[in-house]
Amino acid sequence: MSEAAEPVWVLADPRAGTAAQAIGIAERLGLPFRAVPLEWGPLARLPLGWGTLLGLAPASRGAFRPPWPRLVVSAGRRSAPVALWLRRRGARVVHCMRAPGSAGFDLQVVGAHDGMGPAPNRIEILGAAHRVTPAALAAGRTRFAALGGLPSPRVGLLLGGPVRGEGLDPAIAAALGRRVAGFAGSVMATASRRTGAAATAALAEALAPVPHRLHGWGSAGENPYLGILAWADVMVVSGDSVSMLSEALVTAAPIFIAPLGDEGPRHRALHASLQAAGQARPIDDAPAPFARQPRDEVARIVAAIRERGLLTHE
């Protein structure tokens, strides 16, 4: 096949967290890549287990023309048929998450919490792939050096919201804030879009008794997310977010999981997998310290891609 100017294509699902899994892997490969935005049509809801563009909206299909890439990185059930369609045109495929047609992937990346079991074309990781790297943490430590002046222990609090919908119950946010403030020298917190304004305000009030920095969704100024990860002595992460729990694994800080109450079986399985690996403990155990080693799971994925020769021309 003739080769595209970019040897790697990333199939970018409209959901930011899903797209970040594929983008994070491509970024670590160190090769030029093209992010192909995907827009879904009605047929994307079907369990399409073969290579097809049927799930794409017509406007998105025009992006798929030769020259074809050497490697495709995708994530999510809906992008799998598109990736398999490109595989029929000579590309190798690295796919993240469960999907129909998984036997056709050259490498499938699944979380231990998915419980899929071993397969020759499968690698199991803790959590999910993401874009946070050790180098990004080092840069965040420098960029947000002012956080290092906060009193220890510095607790990083990453707060999400309802798994389905927006607007966390302010009482839940306040209770978690009071709990963290009770054992923190200072708190560095960030709230997501799903947290909502009312819960963010309740969190701010709960954190008022201790030195803290709180960045709410849409707040002015740069989100110090990477600085929080880099400077935290302890991490508290709400249990709704696969992404934030996975990104916290790159740090060396003890991780405590704070369920928000509506997590389903998959999230609870994620919590159990992190705890079984010694990488996290429930919030009820905080603030008792425990030792853990940072986990750079995306580096493991990239190593597997190279070991399997998926970037070669052969």
Residue pair 101/86 in contact (Cβ under 8 Å)? The answer is no
How far CA 292 is from CA of 63, 183, 249, 275, in Å, comes to 44, 20, 9, 11
Q: Is the pLDDT of residue 314 over 80?
A: no
Sketch the domain layout of the chain as residue ranges: 8-129+298-307, 134-285
Q: Say what the pTM is.
A: 0.94
Render the burial of 250-264: b for 16+ CB within 10 Å, e for the rest: bbebbbbbbbbebbe
Residue pair 87/51 in contact (Cβ under 8 Å)? The answer is yes
* Tens-place pLDDT, residues 206-228: 999 999 999 998 888 899 999 99
* Tens-place pLDDT, residues 162-198: 977 779 999 999 999 999 999 999 999 999 999 999 9
CATH number of 134-285: 3.40.50.2000
Pairing of β 255-258 and β 186-191: unpaired
Please list the alpha-helical segments (H only) found in the chain. 16-29, 58-61, 80-87, 134-143, 170-181, 197-207, 225-231, 242-248, 265-276, 297-307
| Cα 134 to Cα 262: distance, rounded to the nearest angstrom | 32
Instruction: Check residue 275 and give its pLDDT.
Output: 98
* Tens-place pLDDT, residues 39-62: 999 999 999 999 999 999 999 999
Confidence of residue 6 (pLDDT cuts 50, 70, 90): confident
> What average pLDDT does range 294-302 have in this prediction?
98
Confidence of residue 1 (pLDDT cuts 50, 70, 90): very low
| Cα 247 to Cα 132: distance, rounded to the nearest angstrom | 6
Confidence of residue 133 (pLDDT cuts 50, 70, 90): very high
Render the burial of 196-229: b for 16+ CB within 10 Å, e for the rest: beebbbbbbebbeebebbbbbbeeeeebbbbbbb
> What average pLDDT does range 224-244 have in this prediction?
97
Class assignment of domain 8-129+298-307? alpha beta
* Radius of gyration, CA atoms only, the chain: 20
Same fold, 8-129+298-307 and 134-285: yes
Relative orientation angle of helices 197-207 and 170-181, to the nearest 10 degrees: 20
Which pair of tokens denotes residue 305?
Answer: 């891609």
> What average pLDDT does range 67-83 have in this prediction?
97
Q: Is the pLDDT of residue 201 over 60?
A: yes
How many Cα atoms sit within 13 Å of 179 on the Cβ side? 18
